Structures are given as C-alpha cells and as structure tokens.
Amino acid sequence: MQLKFNLSTPELVDLYVFNNWSAPWKKKSRQRIQTLIPLGLILFGAAFLLDNQYGMGAVLIIIAALWFFLYDKVYTNRLKHFAQGYYNHEINERFWAENTYHFTPSSILMENEFIKSEIQWKGIINFIENENAFWLFESLATAHIIPKRVLSDTEQENFKRLLASKLIQK
C-alpha cells in the first residue's frame, strides 16, 4: 500500500495537543493539575468561610469549581492556539512537504523532500485511531500521522487490519 499526502494544520495540532496533554502517559499530571489545585483552593475557601472573613471563602470555592470543570478545555485551547502558530510559521515548512508512505510486509518507507527513512514494523510501539487520522507511534512523543482523508472507507478498514496484524506479531 502506498499513500501520498500533505499534512494539514488540524492534524498536526491534534498530535501536539495529544503529546502535550491528552496522551495516556500524561494522565497523572492532568489529574494532579485538575484535581489537587482546586482541592487546595476549596480547603483555603473552607478555612476562610470558617473564619468568616470578607466572603473570600465562597470566592475561592467558586474559583476551584470553575478550575475543576473548565481547566482541561481552557488548557487544551491554549495548546491548540500555540501549535497553530508554531506549525503555520514559515520556518517549519518541513511539516508541509508531500509525504510518501509505502507499507511493505517488513517495514514502512517514508519519504519527502527533507527525509527518507525506513521504519521496521517492530519500531512502531502502538497506533491510535481518532476521527481524522491514524497515528503510528515510534515513541511516546513521535508519531507518523496518516490522515483518513487520503483513504476510502474500505482502505481504512484494510489499513486498520494491517496495523493490527503487524503490531500483534511483535
């Protein structure tokens, strides 16, 4: 199977947000930030309420509740905004090169005007499918993005089977 495509900003932004926030290996950090900080604010708020001073306790408890329910969305949007600027910057033209992927029984050949590489199937540690793309991970922070827009529905199913069979064989 051979695929040629250029990546788009939304695909790169999704990968950036995933690697920097949404990835399973970031779960403990996310939980710590999203839970412990508002818990601390609630404790401070309760202390202020018990001390009956200036209504600060209620304000702190409201801030803690907003943090708990909105922080993930706000932080994700901030990362997306940063990544859009980063990938749209002209010095990052390598992200826009046309990629050619050739999937063979023993390896994945990837080539563009800047890079030519061969990745053995055993070098792919995992793949993730989301609504827009397949991500083939070489490490926790390095992935190859295969957009679904370049594959028909039948090709997507065949590609999924190929990935599953190659990753199970390892």
Question: Tell me: the pLDDT tens digits for 126-160?
Answer: 888 888 888 898 887 778 888 898 899 999 999 89
- Give the list of residues 6+ apart from residue 15 with CB closer than 8 angstroms, or none: 135, 143, 145
In whole numbers, what is the pLDDT of the chain averaged over residues?
A: 79
d(CA 106, CA 94): 27
Helices (H), the chain: 9-17, 27-31, 37-51, 56-88, 153-168
Q: Is the confidence at residue 12, as pLDDT, over 70?
A: yes
**Assigned CATH topology for domain 2-8+96-168:** PH-domain like (2.30.29)
Of 112 and 168, more confident: 112
Distance CA 2, CA 64 (A): 51
Sorted by where each begins, the domain ranges of the chain are 2-8+96-168, 13-91
CA atoms of 58 and 73, how far apart (whole Å):
23
Helix locations, 98-144, DSSP H: none
pLDDT tens per residue, range 33-49: 777 777 777 777 777 66
DSSP three-state, residue 152: coil
